[in-house]
Amino acid sequence: MTEIYDGKGAFPIMLIGYGRVSTRDQHSESQHDRLTAAGCQRIYIDKASGTLSSRPEFDRALDALREGDVFVFTKLDRIGRSVKMLKDTADRVQAVGAGLRALDQSVDTTTPEGRLFFHILAAFAEWERDMIVARTMDGLEAARARGRSGGRKPKLKPYQVERARAMYAEVGEDGKRRWTVQQIADDLGVKRTTLNGYLTQATR
């Protein structure tokens, strides 16, 4: 096993595996088996939406990383559904001196080619952010030209309200809520204060 020295002695480099299934009806055994076969000594599995910014096992996996370790997953969409989420994850991993490895896409930031991929990814994330800002500004200018002002209405559609209330009411075997208000808000792409209004209406 490869070792790294921190000035106090040597410690082994670890492969930290992470998997995610989108719903509680799916099984994680396939991902777990592949991560085990890839040599992962620790494996963390989430059963949560890929759009959630906070996933308990995902955070635990990242917290377990040390310098020289490698964060391993089967596909890029297991760690994020947007360029921004992928870049944010890469930034967190690289901040501790660890690497990332996607088994299916052959992406490995411990190699020069893998590092180049994430540099390109960072450029796309910046471009994506600039495009969103530009479209927003164009929309506001068009609205002002028609005599209207303001931005996007922070209201949920009926089916989104129903989904939010169902998630909020869901309770696990331990008697605790499965989802926090912040997780539900992140899933629906609204602020927590906006979501609170709909949840409060449901309890009246």
pLDDT of residue 42: 95
Angle of the 112-145 helix axis to the 83-95 helix axis, nearest 10: 140
CA angle 34, 39, 42 (to 5 degrees): 90
Can you read off the two tokens belonging to residue 78? 């297991």
What residue ranges define each of the domains in the chain, with the CATH number in brackets?
3-111 (3.40.50.1390), 158-202 (1.10.10)
The answer, yes or no, to whether residue 144 has pLDDT greater than 90, is no
Higher pLDDT, 71 or 117: 71
Q: What is the pTM of this model?
A: 0.55
pLDDT of residue 145: 73
Q: What is the mean pLDDT of residues 21-48?
A: 85
The catalytic position among 22, 28, 30, 106 is 22
Assign residue 148 a region (left: φ > 0; alpha: ψ between -120 and 50; beta: otherwise): beta
Q: For this structure, is 22 an active site residue? A: yes
pLDDT in tens, 77-124: 888 777 778 888 888 998 999 999 999 887 888 888 877 877 786 676
Phi, psi of 170 (to 5 degrees): -70, 130
pLDDT of residue 149: 52
Residues 108 and 124: their CA atoms lie apart, in Å, by 18
